[in-house]
Chains A and B, each alone.
Chain A
Amino acid sequence: MPSIVKPVATHPSFQRNQLGLTIRDYEGTMSTLCAGCGHDSITAAITRAFWEVATPPHMIAKLSGIGCSSKTPAYFVNGAHGLNSAHGRMPPIATGANAANREIVYIGISGDGDSLSIGLGHLCHAIRRNVRMVYVIENNGVYGLTKGQFSASADVGSKSKRGDPNRMAPIDSVMLGLSIGATFIARSFSGDKEQLVPILKAAISHRGFALVDVISPCVTFNDHEGSTKSYLYTRQHELKATETDFVPPASEILAQIGQNGAVNVTMHDGSMVRFKGVPPNYDPTDRGKVMEYLEEHQGKGEVVTGLLYLDESFPDLHEMNKTTEIALTKVPYRKLCPGAAALDRLQEDFR
């Protein structure tokens, strides 16, 4: 991850967000991924989403494991701390970080190898704990950095670059998330920024673990004919189950939603997610219905995208643990140490 610094040039016509920052303030160093990599499009969408939500850059923490995807936190929001950890171990590190300071917005960037093989257990348990964070899986069905081995998300029959078919069943993060209580599940496509940006904005506002699986074709090792994670295949088979509008708190649009059969979900922070174009047999707040829909359409080889499931009622890690509402790191030491007198009293029990 060389830190190639981008030239500092801010055009006066650049739009500014609520904090007066331009999108350049949310960019990172230059990407070193292959030209055309889906991950770079996701990076652009993340940059956009944070700028639009206007999160102060230093209040963002970017965490990742190892792999092509895990390099990308260097490529957005330079003003945020980043932690590029070890392969598959980002979820526990993010959990600990969140435990210590709940005031920061956490975004974890992972890949299908990182999340669905070596770190699968950690992902599952971070979901179960409902750690408040945006968790992006940049899913390309292949190990890029080690040059083209199948990952656990490769579909049965999908062919490797050398022509070998994958014979093992894939682990689908969306179905997995549904089965273990994920409270926010989305699937998108790196080539569809219009869909991805509002999903990411909603994920940032979500009060728990927001799983965002993004099909992100690997142009070098998995974009050939016979691959089910290529640009062509995804474009031909994508089925948008929902269209999402993210409505920030106290916005003017608030009065207009709720019409035309749309599904609205109020987020914990007062913002709202508005699902448009939802098929009649689909309810993004009904886990059973979502599963049924996905089973039906994924069975036909379709890639179902959109914000697929949302539950804003489930408590997050801190609510479950009744942790103090400020960051634990802000609790002064005098409140943490019971002191000498208490120790003397306590020791009467040890006699």
Chain B
Amino acid sequence: MRNRVNDFALKLANVNGTGSASANGLLMQAIFRMGIPVSGKNLFPSNIQGLPTWYEIRVNKLGYTARSLDYDLMVAMNSQTYARDIQEVREGGYLLYDSSWPLDPALLRDGVHFLGVPFAQLCNDNFRDPRERILMKNIAYAGTLVAALQVDMEIVAALLEEKYAGKKKLSESNTRALRLGYDYARDHFDCPLPFHLEKMNANSDKILIDGNTAIALGCVYAGATVAAWYPITPSTSAMDAFKVFCEKYRKDPETGRNNYIIIQAEDELAAIGMVIGAAWNGARAFTSTAGPGISLMNELLGLAYYAEIPAVIIDVERVGPSTGMPTRTQQGDLLECAYASHGDTKHILLFPSNPAECFDFAPVAFDLAERFQTPVFLMSDLDIGMNDWVVPRLRWNDGYQPDRGRVLSLEDIENLPKFQRYTGEDENQVAPRTLPGVHPKGSFFTRGSGHNKFGGYTEIPDEYREVMDRLLKKHKAAAKFVPAPIIQHRPDATFGVVTLGGCDPAVREALDVLAERGAVGDFMRVRGFPFDDAVEAFLAEHEICFVIEQNRDAQLRSLLTLETDVPKDKLRSILVYGGFPLSARHVVDGVMEEFGLQHKPEFAAAGRPAGEVPMEE
């Protein structure tokens, strides 16, 4: 029997609304504190109580923490999904189930080890309150996993203590439940299992954070003062976090009053309207939403684009079209956001790949919105936004000053013979603006109707076109200012891979696996739209580029085809859009298939030889 340390995946199948999330989060956090690279993916339903929900944990000492599809251990706590969950365990893997009731023999599977722990029985014997009996089952299975996987018990105990500080009874119950599962495992199984954990030191400069929290923090640091939103999954927690941070950091120490305002709007049409009104007045304002919200915002996004008013829109993408699957992830809003609104419009998009970039890109989004006087979309998604990621500690440069763009001061206006809104553009085609309340000479009539460069109403073709042509040039000029793509070349690469956002870890892992198999590819992750020259150059230097993204219609590929000179047939799509985060296997399989390479039966995660049967006993 060969031990496998710090390299395995487990999946926990639960019923939502039963309190499993805190047990699963506890395990994930404990592994993080053990210094081991880890990821946790919450695959949850659009429901409050009763439907199936899963949590996946992958640990990998080499740092490959994209979603795994190979589960060494399944914690099957949901009888509704038993049959399917059992099928997902890899050959030679383990399944942990509640043995308070006999397992249907029809569900047994050869080649899988069944570990039964009578969780319900243990909790019924030890707890009296009916709700507690249910809740504590989760902590009990966490206890079993602590024993089976060799999670550091001291760390788990410390986490429980922090979590229930000041709640003595809860703390005692949790500790007792943890011990029940732990002791049962130690008494009945050969602990630890062949795959298990050992402390490392990979996380000393890392944090555990979700993208929505990070993006909200970024907005606080960027100096946003006005936030308007309408509740929508999966972006709601971003505004919740913004509120928490504002309560902490934005109460004026001198007056005790709030240096921010958060308005829950009546709908997304209003939310973007509030952002536009506030930005027109000179505030840094933003909204957070998801695809359905963007659909509603389309009308006023056109106003902001045409009248040249800054706006920051956080889009935490979910599965569309229509209501789609609100709690599942996708990158399906790329085209919608790039060209939002009727008529000729083009917007600036930023594509963070993880929570750290969510934080970093938030001030960039505000800077660009004000520099270019236009809407900027910060494109996150449910996987980035709602899952906890291990990322480098966030850094802040105290020398940062917001780029407020070209705004005329009182003195500037006084010295002007006459203010004409869309004249005097700089090299980036941006004309200076004035704010209300400064000087009567700076006043003008902002309008979404046809206007000439002086800001006056027009229906004259040449005057209309002059403004529209400048707007197009202005959009192009923004390419130099959006975050540059991340490019990694490998010697002897024969193809390129282009991706964006949260696909990053899976694609990088896949490229390592492919390289081991002799298919060597270069990597590019685009981080902004409009595309800059480096994107164009990468596409030009490869004969074939795979474009990997999470939507059906190859929206990034479409955008590249429309907005660069790349020939369409050079770009091959690998599309994963079922709603769960991307895995390296999807990418490896897609590339292998395209090249007609021999398809190996067993996918191996990077760093592990292909074809290795993980469980040899």
Return B194 CB to nearest CB of chain A, in Å: 30
Neighbouring B residues of A322 by C-beta, 8 Å: 257-258
- Chain A: which residue is nearest B391 at the CB level? A350
Interface-side segment among A40-48, A93-101, A268-276: A93-101
Residues 73-116 (chain A) with a chain B CB within 8 angstroms: 73-74, 78-86, 89, 91-101, 103-104
Among B134-142, B274-282, B331-339, B557-565, the one that faces the other chain is B274-282
- Tell whether, in the assembled complex, residue B275 and residue A96 are in contact, meaning their CB atoms are under 8 Å apart: yes
Listed residue (A56, A96, A122) with the most chain B CB atoms within 10 angstroms of its CB = A96
A314 vs B436: C-alpha distance when bound (angstroms): 27
Q: Which of B265, B401, B402 has the most A CB atoms < 10 Å from its CB?
A: B265
Binds A, one of B87-95, B177-185, B217-225: B217-225
Interchain nearest-CB distance for B399 vs A (Å): 10
**In the bound complex, CA of A350 to CA of B262 (Å):** 24
- Assess the B440–A58 pair: CB atoms within 8 A: yes
B479, CB-defined interface residue at 8 Å: no
> Provided the pairs A81-B436, A95-B263, A96-B226 are in contact, do residues A1 and B447 lie with their beta carbons within 8 angstroms?
yes
- Kindly state the separation between the CA atoms of A83 and B261 in the bound complex, as whole angstroms: 22
Asked if B457 and A328 sit within 8 Å, CB to CB, the answer is: no
A167 at the binding interface (Cβ < 8 Å): no
* Closest B residue to A94 using CB positions: B277
* B259 lies within 8 A of A335 (CB): yes
Min distance, Cβ A309 to any Cβ of chain B, angstroms: 23
Q: How far is the CA of A245 from the CA of B261 in the complex (A)?
A: 35
Shortest Cβ gap from A115 to chain B (Å): 14
By the criterion CB–CB under 8 Å, are B437 and A328 in contact? no
Determine if A299 is an interface residue (Cβ-Cβ < 8 Å): no
Q: Which residues of B contact A121 (CB under 8 A)?
A: 266-267, 270
Select the stretch in A147-155, A169-177, A256-264, A337-345 that faces chain B: A337-345
**Chain A hits for B276, CB < 8 A:** 85, 93, 96
Interface string of A320-351 (1 = CB under 8 A from B): 01111101110101011111101110110011
**What CA separation (Å) do A91 and B270 show in the bound complex?**
8
Q: Is B83 an interface residue (CB 8 A)?
A: no
Residues of B within 8 A of A325 (CB): 255, 257
Instruction: Say if the beta carbon of A61 comes within 8 Å of chain B.
Output: yes
Type the 1/0 row for B402-417, where 1 means its CB is closer than 8 Å to any CB of A. Answer: 1000000000000000
Q: Do residues A324 and B398 form an inter-chain contact, with CB atoms below 8 A?
A: no
Q: How far is the CB of B553 from chain A (nearest CB, A)?
A: 29
User: Is B483's CB within 8 Å of the partner chain A?
Assistant: no
Does B443 sit within 8 A of A, measured CB to CB?
yes
Count contacts between A and B, CB distance < 8 Å. 232
Instruction: Tell me if B33 is interfacial: C-beta within 8 Å of chain A.
Output: yes
Which of A78, A81, A96, A333 makes the CB contact (< 8 A) with B446? A81
Determine which of B255, B258, B267, B281 lies in contact with A321 in the assembled complex, contact meaning CB atoms within 8 Å: B258
Whether the Cβ atoms of B226 and A342 lie closer than 8 Å is: no
Supposing A92-B269, A351-B208 touch, asked if A86 and B299 sit within 8 A by C-beta, the answer is yes
Q: Is B350 an interface residue (CB 8 A)?
A: no
- The reply to whether the CB of B595 lies closer than 8 angstroms to some CB of chain A is no
A125 within 8 A of B: yes
Q: Would you call B128 an interface residue if the criterion is a C-beta within 8 Å of the partner chain's C-beta atoms? A: no
B597 at the interface (CB under 8 A from A): no
Residues of B within 8 A of A16 (CB): none
- Closest A residue to B207 by beta carbon equals A350
Q: Least Cβ distance of B232 to chain A in Å?
A: 16
* Count of chain B residues with a beta carbon within 8 Å of a chain A beta carbon: 74
Pick the most buried of B252, B281, B444: most chain A CB atoms within 10 A of its CB.
B281
A156: CB under 8 A from chain B? no
Contact yes or no, B395 A340, CB < 8 A: yes
A338–B261 contact, CB under 8 A? Answer: no
Query: Please, how many angstroms separate the alpha-carbon atoms of A101 and B303 in the complex?
Result: 21
CA distance A144 to B579 in the complex (A): 48
Contact between chains at A84 and B446 (CB < 8 Å)? yes
CA gap between A351 and B267 in the complex, in Å: 36
A318 and B439 CA atoms in complex are apart in Å by 24
Contact among A92, A321, A333 for B401, CB-based, below 8 A: A333
Contacts A1-B445, A337-B221, A350-B209 hold; do A96 and B33 have CB atoms under 8 A apart? no
Query: B456 near A: Cβ within 8 Å?
Result: yes
Minimum CB–CB distance for B437 against chain A, Å: 5
Complex CA distance for A323 and B262, rounded to whole angstroms = 10
| Cα-based distance from A347 to B220 in the complex (angstroms) | 15
Q: Does A198 contact B (CB under 8 A)?
A: no
Apart from A89-B270, A321-B258, 19 more pairs, CB < 8 Å = A1-B445, A56-B440, A57-B440, A58-B436, A61-B436, A82-B444, A83-B445, A86-B303, A93-B277, A95-B274, A97-B436, A100-B277, A100-B279, A101-B436, A321-B262, A329-B283, A342-B249, A347-B393, A351-B33
Report which A residues bind B (CB closer than 8 A).
1-3, 56-59, 61, 63, 73-74, 78-86, 89, 91-101, 103-104, 121-122, 124-125, 129, 317-318, 321-325, 327-329, 331, 333, 335-340, 342-344, 346-347, 350-351
Contact sample, A vs B, 21 pairs, CB 8 Å cutoff: A73-B445, A79-B440, A79-B443, A85-B303, A93-B273, A93-B276, A96-B273, A100-B278, A100-B285, A101-B282, A104-B281, A322-B257, A323-B257, A323-B258, A324-B257, A324-B259, A328-B261, A333-B223, A338-B221, A338-B249, A340-B396
